Homo-oligomer: A and B are copies of this chain.
Amino acid sequence: MSSNPVARRRPTHRKGRPTLTRESVGRAALDFLDHHGPAELTMRSLAADLGVSPRALYNYVEDRRDLLTVAAELFESEWRPPELDSGHWRESLRSYCRALRAHYRSHPGMTTLALTENITTARHPTMLRNVDTLIGFFEAVGLSLRDAYRACMETIRLVAGFVELQDIVYDRPPAHVNPADLAQLPPPWLRPKDPKDAGGYGEPEGSEPVGDLPHLARLGELEPDSPDTLFAFSLDILVEGIAARAA
C-alpha cells in the first residue's frame, strides 16, 4: 500500500463551482424536469444551467441518451416504496401504487423521455430490489411465481400509464387546452369539435351534434372525477382482478 503513489484526488472545485461528475450531471438533468418540460431538456440548456459549455458535458456522459440513462437510474434509485404486508394485501397494494404514482409525478416527463429514447438500460440495484420484493408480495398473496411476475409488471405499467396518459394533462395542461375544460365531463378530448367555432357542445340550449352520442352527452350531467378518484377506480379494477386470479 505504502508503495502506491500518493493518491491524487481529482479537484472538487473549478472556477468556483463544484467539479462535474457523471452523477451530478445526471442529477441536474433529473432536477431540470421539475422546472421545465422534457422537450426543453437539451444538452445546451442543461449546460447553461450548470454554467459550462455544452462540450463539457461530454466529458462525463457519452451522449444525450447516456445522460438520460443516468437520470433514469437516479430516478429509480430515489424511490423507497412503503412496506408491503400480504396480511392486508389489498390496502397494502393500494398504498404501494399511490406512492409509486407520486414518485412518477414528482419528476414529470422522465418516463416520457425514457419512452422516446428507448431507454431500457437503467437498471439501478434499488429498482431491481423493489421489483423483487413486489414479486414476492404477490406470491405471498397466493399467485404462482409466473403470475406474480405478470402482476408486478401489470402494476407498474398501470401506474406509469396512468401518470403518462392521464396525470400529465392535468399537472401540466398543454398550451392549447383550457384548464377550466378539464373540470368538466366529458374531458376536452371527448368533446366534439365545434364546427367552425360556432356554438357547439357546451351550448345551454340542446343542439344537434350531441344526439348521436347519447352516453357521452349524459356524462355532462355528472360531477367530474378528480384524477385521484379516477386512479382509485383503476386500483379497484387491479386489486379485484388480482383477487380473482389468486382465488
Contacts and interface: CB of A to CB of B under 8 A. Distances in A.
A115 B129 CA distance: 30
A174 B213 CA distance: 41
Contacts of A58: none
Contacts of A157: 161-162, 165-166, 234
A118 B236 contact: no
Contacts of A123: 189-193
Interface in A135-179: 135-136, 139, 145-151, 153-154, 157-158, 160-162, 164-166, 168-169, 174, 176-177
Interface in A204-220: 212-216, 218-219
A230 interface: yes
Contact of A244 (B115, B154, B243): B243
Identify the interface centre among A129, A153, A160, A193: most chain B CB within 10 Å of its CB. A153
A242 B241 CA distance: 8
B241 A150 contact: no
Interface in A196-247: 212-216, 218-219, 222, 225, 230, 233-234, 236-245
In terms of DSSP, what is the predominant structure of the interface of chain A?
Answer: helix
A128 interface: yes
A62 B216 CA distance: 30
Nearest to A156: B165
Interface residues of A, number: 70
A82 interface: no
A168 to B, nearest CB: 8
A41 interface: no
A234 B161 CA distance: 13
Given A161-B161, A240-B245, A243-B244, 7 more contacts: A123-B189, A125-B192, A139-B215, A151-B237, A157-B165, A160-B165, A236-B241
Interface of A: 38-39, 112, 115-116, 118, 120-123, 125, 128-129, 131-132, 135-136, 139, 145-151, 153-154, 157-158, 160-162, 164-166, 168-169, 174, 176-177, 185-186, 188-193, 212-216, 218-219, 222, 225, 230, 233-234, 236-245
